[in-house]
Amino acid sequence: MTHQSRTVLLAGGVGGARLGHGLQAHLGDRLTVVVNTGDDLERHGLLVSPDHDTVMYTLAGIDNPDWGWGIEGETFAAAEMLERYGEEGWFRLGDRDLATHIVRTARVRAGERLTAVCLDLQRALGVRAAILPMTDAPVRTEVLTEDGWLEFQEYFVHRHQAPTVSDLRFSGIDAAAATPEVVEAVAASELLVIAPSNPFVSVRPILAVTGIEAAIQAARARAVPVVAVSGIVGGKAIKGPADRMLVSLGHESSALGVARLYTGVADVFVLDAVDEALAPAVEALGLRTVVTDTIMADDAGRARLASAVLAATSLG
Amino acid sequence: MTHQSRTVLLAGGVGGARLGHGLQAHLGDRLTVVVNTGDDLERHGLLVSPDHDTVMYTLAGIDNPDWGWGIEGETFAAAEMLERYGEEGWFRLGDRDLATHIVRTARVRAGERLTAVCLDLQRALGVRAAILPMTDAPVRTEVLTEDGWLEFQEYFVHRHQAPTVSDLRFSGIDAAAATPEVVEAVAASELLVIAPSNPFVSVRPILAVTGIEAAIQAARARAVPVVAVSGIVGGKAIKGPADRMLVSLGHESSALGVARLYTGVADVFVLDAVDEALAPAVEALGLRTVVTDTIMADDAGRARLASAVLAATSLG
């Protein structure tokens, strides 16, 4: 395993974007990111793909580092006008960001595949890696709460992740197949990485797409290692509701709890130095462990974690 | 005829918007503007309705007075991003303006009538008059040039009205019917006004919609006067290619040339003081004439011309 291995990263939003940015610094176009599209939604008649766009903007170097979404220097003139027209304002889209949704929507409506459109958008922004939607078919994550089934962004953004999640489903998943691009990227990979993203609503939808877990298992059968990075550090999610979801869905809110979810799919588990004491229990699950600083506070932190991930399989 | 007569204005873009603004100052919600939709187009998958929006922004008091289109203080962050994505940039849409097209497109795609959506947009912006699309059906003006048939905005914006126009057609017009709102407004009117808009590409499409000219003739039969205002002053169009079109389509580029086009539909013709010498020839066509300053350089100019139009039928 070298630092130039063809690598496929399974990613959700911010955590995936940051690790992807670090990996791209090492790998350039030898990196393929497979992004969750279960968070996608239609707003104002436009197809919005939050995880893809967060990864794209981050890998293009135009992300807003303070927000964890959107574009640096973004303006909201259109959003203000949309609100004046009575459109709901809880999911605000910036002016530049709107252009992304407008182009995507127009081209998908005209019959193009989502994957082809996304790759064009990425090229226009100078992204070196390829960022592939997990599927071209519409999949929508929904969470069961005390208020009933909620669309993901209704729960995540509108209700600020306040409701307790007792179950999940991925609407449309039965009709969703892996794209040729995803299958080929996994087949050509020398390393597979699971980002420190939410295991339930970022990683699980990707694995649930018909053909993706099979492709990963085929890669593992030819000795391609799968390295998963914990998004839980010191028992807390770095960002988002993963820690609360672990508990409400019957798991332990710890790196060990995450590791248990990845047995059978991962070979190596990367956990933060603060969780070093959990390493033996993770190893007992049959996962090799790498203990390192997993916090990606800046570009250097992203590249450092990426290095650790790329080196992980040569340490065992 | 009083200054409070229920009035219907047939309008294209800037000239119609300015006279509409002046009339609204006198009439408030007793004014209905019927706007041309032959200039409509789809850009980036969004339905853009330039004449409606110019009239709406002007009557809402948020128009950009220097451009003759768009919104004062407009920004173009989305347009720059759209161009970065490789979208054609010759028809640039501002950020606030984009919100209008996004809402219109989403609601029409969801099955609402264009008229209903437009009325909602106007209400949100505080417009007192009603601005009615001439029809809910898609109509697209095309011009025949030495380069063949061109869509209107391709000719008007992209090619800067440089090609010579030898013929016109209104694609979709056979399937376009007057809306109940237009028919009712004309039926309830006490005064009908034809704005100083382009007679060929602004006014003629409106009159060509099935049911509109019949409604106007029915109003005339009950003695409702039709007042047309010349958009040609001193032989030149105040704005746009009407003067060149008059010549290339075999007419005279003068207020008299315009008046000839309105015989049979108008009763009174308003021409500018610089064209006073043409008044007898216009009268000889069977039209009564009003000679006044027709240039609407500012709000006072708009209100003054509106006053002259409202008073026109009491002067005969």
Q: What is the pLDDT of residues B274-285, one digit of tens each?
A: 999 999 999 999
Residue listed under structure tokens 């399937």: B175
Containing B218, the helix (H) or strand (E) segment is helix B212-221
CA B242, B248, B254, B260 dihedral sign is negative
For B108-112, the CB contacts below 8 A with 24+ separation are B108/B47, B109/A45, B110/A45
B229 is a domain residue? yes
Taking one residue from A and the other from B, the number of pairs with CB-CB distance under 8 angstroms is 99
The C-alpha of B171 sits at a distance from chain A's nearest C-alpha, in angstroms, of 21
Q: How far is CA B186 from CA A11, A122, A197, B85, B192, in A?
A: 60, 52, 61, 45, 8
C-beta atoms surrounding B292 within 10 Å: 19
Task: Output the pLDDT for position A100.
Answer: 98
Residue range A159-204, pLDDT digits in tens: 999 999 999 999 999 999 999 999 999 999 999 999 999 999 999 9
Asked if residue A1 has pLDDT above 70, the reply is: no
pLDDT, mean of residues B19-37:
97
Please check whether residue A86 lies inside any domain of the structure: no
Classify the C-alpha dihedral A68-A49-A28-A291 as positive or negative: positive
Answer whether residue B19 shows pLDDT above 90: yes
In a domain, B79, yes or no: no
Measure B42 CA to nearest chain A CA, in Å: 10
pLDDT tens digits for A44-92?
999 999 999 999 999 999 998 888 788 999 999 999 999 999 999 888 9
Domain count, chain B: 1
List, for residues B97-144, the tens digit of each pLDDT value. Answer: 999 999 999 999 999 999 999 999 999 999 999 999 999 999 999 999
What is the separation of C-alpha B149 from the centre of its chain, rounded to a whole number of angstroms? 22
Q: Quick check: is B102 in a domain?
A: no
For B242, list phi and psi in degrees, rounded to 5.
-60, -40
**Of A202, A224, A35, whose CA–CA distance to A135 is shortest?**
A35
Asked if residue A259 belongs to a domain, the reply is yes
User: How confident is the model at residue A238, as a pLDDT?
Assistant: 87
By C-alpha distance, the chain B residue nearest A109 is: B45
Give which of B89, B38, B56, B92 is closest to B205, Cα–Cα: B38
- C-alpha torsion A258→A262→A267→A271, nearest 10: -10
- In this prediction, residue B3 carries a pLDDT of 61
B255: nearest Cα among B274, B242, B271: B271
Q: Is residue B71 helix, strand or coil?
A: strand
CATH number at residue B12: 3.40.50.10680
Q: Rounded to an integer, what distance in angstroms lies between the CA atom of residue A235 and that of residue A246?
A: 10
Q: Residue B315 pLDDT > 80, yes or no?
A: no
Average pLDDT of the residues of chain A: 95
Mean pLDDT of chain B: 95
ipTM topping 0.90: yes
Which of A60-69, A103-112, A134-143 comes out lowest in average pLDDT?
A60-69
CA distance B121 to chain A (A): 6
B64-73 pLDDT, tens per residue?
888 878 899 9
| Residue A274 domain-assigned (yes or no) | yes
> Residue A18 sits in which domain range?
7-40+128-315
What percent of chain B clears pLDDT 70, i.e. is strictly above it?
98
Among the partner residues A77, A87, A109, nearest to B75 by beta-carbon distance:
A77
Given a cut of 70, whether residue A3 has pLDDT beyond it is no
Rounded alpha-carbon distances, angstroms, from residue B69 to B11, B17, B93: 14, 10, 10
Handedness of CA A26, A29, A31, A35 (dihedral sign): positive
Tokens of A1: 């395993």
Residue A316 has pLDDT above 60, yes or no: no
Interface check for B4 against chain A (CB to CB < 8 A): the answer is no
Has residue A21 got a pLDDT over 90?
Answer: yes
Tokens of A303: 């590249």
The pLDDT value recorded for residue A263 is 96
Residue B57 lies in a domain: no
Determine the 3-state secondary structure of B264 from DSSP: coil
CA-based radius of gyration for chain A: 19
What is the pLDDT confidence band of residue A313, given thresholds at 50, 70 and 90?
A: confident
Name which of A85, A96, A101, A122 to mutate to probe chain B: the one with the most chain B Cβ atoms within 10 A of its Cβ: A85
Contacts of A107 in chain B (CB under 8 A): 45
Q: Is residue B287 a contact partner of residue B313, using CB atoms and an 8 Å limit?
A: no
Cβ <8 Å between B106 and A44: yes
Order of strands, sheet of B148-151, starting from the edge strand that comes earlier in the sequence: B148-151, B140-145, B167-171
**Residue A81: which of B46, B96, B106 has the nearest Cβ?**
B96
Rounded Cα–Cα distance for residues B293 and B304 (Å): 8
**B81 and chain A: CB distance < 8 Å anywhere?**
yes
* B194 domain-assigned: yes
**pLDDT tens per residue, range A221-277:** 999 999 999 999 999 998 889 999 999 999 999 999 999 999 999 999 999 999 999
User: Residue B85 and residue B209: Cα distance in Å, rounded?
Assistant: 38
**Mean predicted confidence (pLDDT) in B229-245:** 93
